[in-house]
Amino acid sequence: MKKALIGLMIGLLVMGTVASAADAALDAYDAAAALWVAGKHTDAVTAFKQLPQDYPDAKVGILVAAQSFIGQDYFWHQKAYIEAEAVFAGILTNFPAAHAQQKLTAQTYRGLSLEKLNRPAEANVAWMAGIEDSVSVLGATNEVKGVWSVFNKIQPQLIPAARYKEFLETVIRATKATEANAAFLGRVKSELEKMK
Amino acid sequence: MKTALTAAIAVALICGTSFGGLADRQPSEAAQKQIDAISAASKSNDWKAAQQAYGAIDLRVAENPVAVLQSASAAVGIKPGAAELRREIATKYWLLRKDGDPDLADTITPTVIPIVEVDTMEIDALVIDALEIDALEIDALEIEVVVTTDEVFLAKMNLWTQRFGKQIDYHDTKGRLIVPAHGSVLWRERKNLMSEIEAGGDYDALWEAYSARLRTAVERRQKLRRQR
């Protein structure tokens, strides 16, 4: 009985420590994000870069979001597209457990960066990979957002026909055949029919 | 001219009643495990569990997705309580089936998938068959540009625009599409321009000439409207 009580107390203590570490990481993230929103991008990026060093065990979602801000700063503010592409590629390599939305965002920015670097074919590869990996989870319900908006960026004329066809088939296989995705599926199927 | 306009928006319907044999290749071990789970869930009418098991099937890696879907459909059975899942499977089956694949035993109506049928992107396929020409009492020869609300045409042009990333027509302040009148010189220029864009050729000169003439025609049309 006594041992059980001690075990319970230790367990609660460990849980509390873990919880407070997670809270602290979230607080640090929120503080950095607040700097970003206030337009203090340089300070925000410094804080985002510090976050994984102070909280290496923070939740994947927080670590990825911090990296994403760093990449977006390179892309939008510094217009340093090589660095931006590297940051987003790093997200995909280092965080395989990232949420589908974060992976799609990373591939989207990778593609945009490659496009800016005048490497449109590689940009298309990034966008296609982003869609193939995420559409089963995210679906595609809005033409100007998410998966569908990335799909609209793709330039089929820059992709080998066999690869484009394979991509379209994969997307159809992966997308849930629900009412919400019907319009997008129609768009993809239309593309596939065209290739017959 | 090929009457490609006639069936532009297709509606997905599966009305099969026969159930053919399974395709040659059976579902993979991983897929079969989920199909067994669907079958077990179906027996206890646990449709949430059945939906989860179906969602866990990764059709991207399936060697024969049609066979997987046939098995999944059979595992669900034709039960009214499972209508949502049955419809999802039937819709996916319709999307993936090839010529010669048997119909599903389940005749539930799939979700409507709006498909713009464009067999080829030949420009001749992009013909307006219904025009809304403003009630202008002018000589027909003066009609260079017209407003179109033809949904088939708009759907095809939307597809073309997205595919090639080029917006070649004019939108008025109400958002309506203004295009050259069919058969006009400007219409032929538009066809040439689209051909060049599709071919990925050097179309800058064509683009500039066409844009300038379209703009002039639109301005002339607006002037005529004001005069009346």
Q: Are residues A22 and A78 in the same domain?
A: no
Nearest CA in chain B to A194: B119
Q: Are residues A49 and A96 in the same domain?
A: no
Nearest to A174 among B59, B88, B163 (CB): B59
Distance (Å, rounded) from C-alpha A139 to C-alpha A121? 25
Chain B residues with CB under 8 Å of A182 CB are 91, 111-114
The pLDDT mean for chain A works out to 89
Q: Are residues A118 and A46 in the same domain?
A: no
Could B60 and A170 be called an inter-chain contact, meaning their C-beta atoms sit closer than 8 Å? yes
Q: Are residues A35 and A128 in the same domain?
A: no
Q: Are residues A44 and A80 in the same domain?
A: no
pLDDT tens-digit profile of B109-164? 999 888 765 543 443 334 443 334 443 333 444 456 777 777 777 777 777 777 77
Q: Which of A11, A35, A58 is the last residue of a domain?
A: A58
Lowest mean pLDDT among A159-173, B50-64, B214-228: B214-228
Could A177 and B118 be called an inter-chain contact, meaning their C-beta atoms sit closer than 8 Å? no
Lowest mean pLDDT among A180-189, B57-66, B99-108, B141-150: B141-150
pLDDT at position B12: 32
Q: How far is A140 from chain B (nearest CA, A)?
A: 13
Question: Average pLDDT for residues B72-101, to the nearest whole number?
Answer: 93
Could B111 and A177 be called an inter-chain contact, meaning their C-beta atoms sit closer than 8 Å? yes
Could A193 and B65 be called an inter-chain contact, meaning their C-beta atoms sit closer than 8 Å? no
Tally the domains of chain A.
2
Q: Are residues A80 and A53 in the same domain?
A: no
pLDDT over 80 (residue A20) = no
More confident position, B202 or B72: B72
Chain B residues with CB under 8 Å of A149 CB are none
Q: Is B2 domain-assigned?
A: no
pLDDT at position B17: 28
Distance (Å, rounded) from C-alpha B20 to C-alpha A115? 48
- Of A13-27, A93-107, B10-24, highest mean pLDDT: A93-107
Q: Does A177 touch chain B (CB under 8 A)?
A: yes
Residue B186's φ and ψ, nearest 5 degrees, are -65, -35
Distance (Å, rounded) from C-alpha A163 to C-alpha A170? 10
Nearest to B118 among A173, A179, A194 (CB): A194
Q: Are residues A162 and A194 in the same domain?
A: yes
Question: Average pLDDT for residues B29-46, to the nearest whole number?
Answer: 93
Q: Is B104 domain-assigned?
A: no
Q: Is B114 domain-assigned?
A: no
pLDDT over 90 (residue A78) = yes
pLDDT over 80 (residue A160) = yes
pLDDT at position A19: 55
Tally the domains of chain B.
2
Which domain CATH number covers A147? 1.25.40
Q: Are residues B140 and B218 in the same domain?
A: yes
Q: Is B208 domain-assigned?
A: yes
Nearest to A190 among B118, B120, B200 (CB): B118
Distance (Å, rounded) from C-alpha B70 to C-alpha B66? 6
Distance (Å, rounded) from C-alpha A89 to C-alpha A68? 10
Nearest to A190 among B91, B111, B159 (CB): B159
Surface of A (103-132) touching B: CB under 8 A: 132
Encoded tokens for B93: 């089956």
Q: Are residues A124 and A42 in the same domain?
A: no
Q: Are residues A46 and A81 in the same domain?
A: no
Identify the helix (H) or strand (E) that includes residue B180.
strand B177-180
pLDDT at position A3: 61
Q: How far is B195 from chain A (nearest CA, A)?
A: 13
Q: Are residues A147 and A96 in the same domain?
A: yes
Q: Dmax of chain B from CA atoms? A: 75
Q: Are residues B152 and B214 in the same domain?
A: yes
Q: Are residues A111 and A164 in the same domain?
A: yes
Question: Average pLDDT for residues B70-88, to the nearest whole number?
Answer: 93
The 3-class secondary structure across chain A, one letter per residue, is CHHHHHHHHHHHHHHHHHHHHHHHHHHHHHHHHHHHHCCCHHHHHHHHHHHHHHCCCCCHHHHHHHHHHHHHHHHHHHCCHHHHHHHHHHHHHHCCCCCHHHHHHHHHHHHHHHHHCCCHHHHHHHHHHHHHHHHHHHCCCCCCCHHHHHHHHCCHHHCCHHHHHHHHHHHHHHCCCCHHHHHHHHHHHHHHHHCC
Which residue range(s) make up the domain with A3?
A: 1-58
Q: Are residues B155 and B63 in the same domain?
A: no
The residue count of chain A comes to 196
More confident position, B22 or A31: A31
Q: Are residues A43 and A79 in the same domain?
A: no
In 10 A of CB B28, how many CB atoms? 17
Q: Is B137 domain-assigned?
A: yes
Closest CA to B51 of B21, B81, B9: B81
Q: Does B13 touch chain A (CB under 8 A)?
A: no
pLDDT over 70 (residue B206) = yes
Q: Is B106 domain-assigned?
A: no
Distance (Å, rounded) from C-alpha A11 to C-alpha A9? 5
pLDDT band at B2 (very low <50, low <70, confident <90, very high): very low
Q: Is B18 domain-assigned?
A: yes
- Supply the pTM of this predicted model: 0.69
In 10 A of CB A76, how many CB atoms? 12
pLDDT at position B132: 41
Nearest to A186 among B115, B118, B119 (CB): B115
Q: Which of B61, B96, B131 is the last residue of a domain?
A: B96
Residue owning tokens 């992709």: A159
Which residue range(s) make up the domain with B154?
A: 123-227
Q: Is B112 domain-assigned?
A: no
